[in-house]
């Protein structure tokens, strides 16, 4: 029987593997086998898969525009995959030119009685809309979609923007069997080419084609023809603790470096940082605004102006800017930057507020420099050469008594030296117009931690009362300050809703103000056991929990785990009881687990005495960023953390 069962298992595995190989991933043509195969064993959670896709970009010999022919063949596995039949094409536009799309063809293939039936997209069902000032969109939905359908669609994009050569996304939110991109680039155009993501190319070929392009003046250009291909590309699934997925999706990107005209002229598009620094000195949005002088006596009190302690003076200037000017939510750093308008309306974008802070500090003889960065949702900035469009945010670097502080006055809850979590995105570019700009690591100055101290007493009637004290620092404090000071009543209501079995009284905040570097609170609690008359009482000592579930659920993760900052959680509990009424029959087991190379630790211990029980839990992540290789260890680590908080029961026996 065992041998028969093993034979059937192996046979089934071979059949599944054979089914997968039936997909025609070598061409755009749809086969009957593409329709009849209904599973994808490599990723059973997939709702659709790309069987085959191809892009082909080249400069047209007639109009000299960049043409890109695109083909997609997709298998719809179930109803949840129907959304992949909705196609949207984004077409960039400027004041003078715009991209166009032509030759749209789309077909749905279904199997009916063992035969292939086609349903074609009608031209009347293709719609064009204005998306925003930079893009138009073309939309269509393939007809007659069913579970098991295969859809194909193709189109051609014509672009006059050679500075923006068409890139290619090899990876998306569904698996792909084969993705190929061909690029033909005339020698006149020199691009920086960047492969992003963790996936490796299976095809990477380049050849030179002589005289591929003939100019109107008779000059010719050779072309570099490249073919890039990837096979069996896994779906990119977003999970907690990551920056924007554009940092990690496997793709090819192009940035125009130099154009050589047929007349021998050369125009450089990718410049050096030395060139960029020179341009920033006179750039009207940032460069000129940074140079504007400020009359301190018109903004600051005489006491602040006369302050001789440089750090106290800087803190006062920061608090003035923070309290008197409101961020309008706009991230613009190269548009609508105006100190004059900010002083007039007391509201402005990121650059206006932080440049004002920079200028006031400078006028007060404090060493400051502006820092350009890209927020976590905007993606990593390119570091090998200047790409100014990568940046979307500006903060201030101040040097005081040989200490460096990053400052951002857009958030009224930040303490001096803190910046918003959105800014923790690896690196920023410090602008120094005298000595030249440089990269700087964006690292929090203060440590982030949460500490709970719980003191409980077990009463004779088996009820429990006590007090919980909390102390939070860093980004844990920041989030709590925002919740509490924006609406303290709602904060306390949410606390009671979070712990419905507890009665909470005498809530009070122990820290000082909304810009304090910490948030401390204390409140009394009481609760009763459901089975208070029973001989045995089961108590979970974790009145509050740091993690109720494991945030890491993927089988494997190909991109880093980015917490943003090192992190610590600490929980202590002391339970007092009358030894004549109760005794401890069982306590939780001690635990000590570390992440390899001392990257983190979870430590849990308990000590039982005649009249009290004391326990301690410490969770520490020593790094802000962990490479993908650490994912299995972090997953195991978090499983243990959740298990400790959920299953650590104390058994108390009545005497």
Pairwise CA distance, residues 580 & 597, whole Å: 47
Would the pLDDT of 533 be above 70? no
Closest CA to 633 of 603, 591, 590, 599: 599
Question: Could you tell me where the beta strands, DSSP code E, fall in 113-265?
Answer: 115-120, 127-130, 135-141, 150-159, 168-169, 176-186, 189-196, 203-214, 220-233, 251-260
Give me the pLDDT at residue 19, please.
43
Q: What is the mean pLDDT of residues 111-137?
A: 95
Q: Domain 273-441 falls in which CATH fold?
A: C8orf32 fold (3.10.620)
Sheet with 367-373: list strands edge to edge: 403-407, 393-400, 367-373, 427-430, 438-441
Q: What is the mean pLDDT of residues 255-281?
A: 81
Q: Minimum mean pLDDT among 2-11, 186-195, 399-408: which range? A: 2-11
Q: Which of 268-272, 494-498, 612-616 has the highest mean pLDDT?
A: 612-616
Residue span(s) of the chain under CATH 3.10.620.30 come to: 273-441
Pairwise CA distance, residues 471 & 169, whole Å: 45
Tokens of 417: 């030296």
Q: Any residues with CB less than 8 A from the CB of 3 and at least 6 apart, and which?
A: none
Pairwise CA distance, residues 631 & 620, whole Å: 16
Q: How many residues does the chain have?
A: 655
Give me the pLDDT at residue 18, please.
44
What separation in angstroms does the CA of 270 have from each of 111, 118, 284? Answer: 52, 48, 21
Q: What is the mean pLDDT of residues 367-394?
A: 93
Helix axes 350-363 and 310-324, enclosed angle (nearest 10): 150
- Contact between 340 and 350 under an 8 Å Cβ cutoff? The reply is no
Q: What is the mean pLDDT of residues 467-485?
A: 96
- Contact between 582 and 654 under an 8 Å Cβ cutoff? The reply is yes
Q: Taking the complete model, does pTM exceed 0.85, yes or no? A: yes
Residue span(s) of the chain under CATH 2.60.120.1130 come to: 448-654
Give me the pLDDT at residue 385, please.
86
Pairwise CA distance, residues 38 & 147, whole Å: 9
78-96 pLDDT, tens digit each? 999 999 999 999 999 988 8
Pairwise CA distance, residues 125 & 138, whole Å: 11
Q: Name the architecture of domain 2-267.
A: Sandwich (2.60)
How many other CB atoms sit within 10 Å of the CB of residue 548? 8
Q: Name the architecture of domain 448-654.
A: Sandwich (2.60)
Q: How confident is the model at residue 214 (pLDDT cuts 50, 70, 90)?
A: confident
241-267 pLDDT, tens digit each? 999 999 999 999 998 888 887 667 788
Query: Percentage of the chain with pLDDT > 70?
Result: 96
Q: What is the mean pLDDT of residues 290-315?
A: 93
Strands 448-458 and 567-576, sheet pairing: parallel
Helix (H) or strand (E) holding 324: helix 310-324
Give me the pLDDT at residue 539, please.
87
611-644 pLDDT, tens digit each? 999 999 999 999 999 999 999 999 999 999 999 9
Closest CA to 618 of 640, 642, 641, 602: 602
Residue span(s) of the chain under CATH 2.60.40.3140 come to: 2-267
């Amino acid at each position: 029987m065992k041998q028969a069962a093993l034979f059937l298992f192996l046979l089934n595995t071979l059949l599944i593997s054979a089914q997968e190989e039936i997909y025609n991933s070598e061409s755009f043509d749809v086969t009957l086998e593409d329709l009849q195969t209904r599973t994808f064993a490599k990723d059973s959670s997939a709702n659709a898969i790309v069987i085959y896709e191809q892009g082909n970009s080249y400069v047209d010999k007639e109009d000299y525009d960049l043409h890109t022919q695109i083909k997609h063949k997709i298998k719809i596995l179930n109803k949840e995959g129907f959304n992949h039949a909705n196609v949207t094409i984004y077409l960039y536009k400027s004041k003078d030119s715009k991209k166009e799309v032509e030759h749209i063809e789309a077909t749905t293939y279904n199997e009916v009685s063992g035969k292939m039936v086609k349903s074609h997209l009608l031209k009347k069902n293709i719609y064009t809309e204005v998306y925003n000032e930079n893009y138009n969109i073309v939309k269509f939905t393939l007809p007659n979609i069913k579970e098991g359908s295969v859809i194909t669609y193709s189109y051609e994009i014509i672009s006059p923007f050679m500075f923006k050569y068409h890139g290619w996304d090899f990876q998306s939110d569904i698996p792909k069997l084969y993705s190929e991109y061909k690029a033909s680039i005339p020698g006149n155009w020199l691009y920086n080419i960047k492969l992003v993501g963790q996936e490796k190319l299976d095809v990477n070929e380049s050849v030179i084609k002589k005289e591929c392009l003939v100019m109107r003046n008779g000059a010719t250009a050779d072309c570099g023809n490249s073919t890039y291909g990837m096979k069996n590309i896994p779906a990119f699934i977003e999970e907690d603790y990551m920056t924007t997925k554009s940092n990690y999706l496997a793709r090819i990107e192009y940035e125009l470096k130099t154009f050589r005209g047929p007349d021998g002229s050369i125009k450089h598009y990718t410049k050096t940082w030395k060139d960029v620094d020179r341009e920033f000195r006179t750039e009207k949005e940032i460069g000129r605004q940074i140079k504007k002088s400020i009359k301190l006596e018109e903004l600051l009190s005489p006491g602040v102006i006369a302050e001789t302690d440089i750090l106290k003076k800087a803190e006062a200037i920061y608090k003035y800017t923070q309290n008197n000017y409101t961020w309008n939510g706009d991230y613009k750093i190269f548009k609508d930057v105006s100190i004059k308008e900010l002083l007039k309306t007391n509201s402005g974008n990121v650059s206006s507020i932080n440049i004002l802070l920079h200028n006031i500090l400078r006028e007060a003889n404090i060493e400051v420099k502006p820092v350009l960065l890209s927020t976590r949702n905007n993606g990593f900035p390119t570091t090998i050469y200047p790409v100014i469009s990568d940046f979307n945010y500006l903060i201030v670097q101040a040097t005081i008594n040989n200490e460096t502080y990053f400052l951002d006055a857009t958030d009224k809850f930040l303490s001096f030296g803190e910046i918003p979590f959105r800014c923790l995105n690896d690196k920023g570019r410090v602008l120094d117009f005298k000595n030249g700009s440089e990269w700087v690591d964006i690292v929090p100055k203060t440590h982030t931690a949460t500490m709970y101290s719980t003191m409980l007493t077990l009463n004779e009637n088996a009820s429990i009362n006590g007090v919980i004290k909390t102390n939070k620092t860093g980004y844990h404090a920041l989030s709590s300050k925002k919740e509490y000071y924006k609406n303290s009543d709602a904060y306390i209501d949410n606390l009671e809703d979070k712990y419905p079995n507890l009665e909470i009284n005498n809530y009070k905040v122990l820290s000082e103000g909304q810009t304090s570097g910490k948030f401390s609170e204390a409140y009394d609690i009481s609760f009763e056991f459901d089975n208070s008359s029973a001989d045995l009482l089961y108590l979970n000592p974790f009145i509050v929990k740091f993690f109720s579930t494991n945030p890491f659920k993927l089988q494997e993760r190909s991109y880093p785990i980015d917490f943003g900052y090192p992190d610590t959680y600490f929980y202590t509990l002391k339970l007092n009881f009358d030894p004549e009424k109760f005794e401890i029959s069982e306590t939780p087991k001690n635990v000590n687990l570390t992440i390899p190379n001392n990257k983190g630790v979870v430590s849990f211990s308990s000590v039982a005495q005649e009249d009290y029980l004391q326990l301690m839990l410490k969770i520490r992540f020593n790094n802000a960023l962990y490479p993908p290789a650490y994912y299995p260890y972090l997953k195991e680590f978090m499983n243990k953390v959740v298990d400790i908080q959920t299953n650590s029961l104390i058994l108390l026996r009545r005497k």
